[in-house]
Amino acid sequence: MGICEICHTEAEAFDKTKILGKYLIQYFSCPNCGFIQTEEPYWLDEAYSDAIVDSDIGLIGRNIALSKRVAAILSVCLPHCKTFLDYGGGYGMFVRLMRDVGFDFEWFDKYCDNLFAKQFVKEKEHYDLVTAFELFEHLPNPAEEIGKIISLGDNILFSTVLVPNPPPKVSDWWYYAPHGGQHISFYTESALKHLAKSFERHYVGYRDIHLFSKQPISLRKFSFVIRFASLINRFRRRESLLSADYKMITGMDL
């Protein structure tokens, strides 16, 4: 048995599998909030010998798609937000894409090299919005780590794929990704709502995009913006920061 990292209910043994192809480990499921977690992840140092696993071949396409959705969400749902941090920002691709469409994003990542946004690393103590994409499923102690993110920003916009209902066994759902060893926490909507409430935030989510916000935002509005992001962005364009960033880096006009 284990204790649920979200609601502290006694979790139940759920399934076993080999992780990284060699360690037989136990998964636990919470009967209260539905959160699924692995046993204590002693293999993480090995799993993060490369910050980005080789099987993540969708990384570029995901960043491009996310940049379009996030631009629309910020324009319509969170227009008051002016400062942004991408937490767990990987190679910095998302930060660069967002700056290209006019949003003042900075980068932070404990594990990955910043290749595309080297001049825009975290400088502020607090931000209007923190993004955290494909991060929550990597957290061994979600409440503790999300608390750190909350301390950095009023709102958190993040992505993670919710556990289907009924919850599938490890062999039947790709998102467990035991071959990479980095996915160790899996959320239901109930688990995310519990987390939001514990941090005095409002929750709204549509498909794999979720928001913990200071002010409530309707699901109808949030889902509409995500579904029609490309159309919204045609009419809500900002001035790109590309030229200003180039001048800052080189001292020359673009």
- Give the pLDDT score at 8: 95
- Token pair in block for residue 18: 């080999």
Cα(24)–Cα(59) distance, rounded to whole angstroms?
A: 28
- Give the pLDDT score at 56: 63
* DSSP E strand boundaries for the chain: 2-3, 10-19, 23-29, 36-38, 84-87, 105-108, 127-133, 153-159, 185-186, 202-206, 209-213
State pLDDT tens for residues 93-135.
999 999 999 999 999 998 888 999 999 999 999 999 999 999 9
Residue reference for tokens 């209910």: 9
pTM of the model: 0.93
Order of strands, sheet of 23-29, starting from the edge strand that comes earlier in the sequence: 2-3, 10-19, 23-29, 36-38, 185-186
- Give the pLDDT score at 1: 61
**Beta carbons within 10 angstroms of residue 13's beta carbon:** 12
What are the phi and psi torsion angles at 105 (to 5°)? -90, 145
Beta bridge partners of 213: 202
What is the SS3 assignment for 244? Answer: helix
- The bridge status of strand 127-133 relative to strand 105-108 is unpaired
What are the phi and psi torsion angles at 48 (to 5°)? -100, 20
Regions of the chain short of the pLDDT cut 70: 1, 51-58
Cβ contacts of 134 within 8 Å, gap of 6 or more: 62, 88, 159, 160
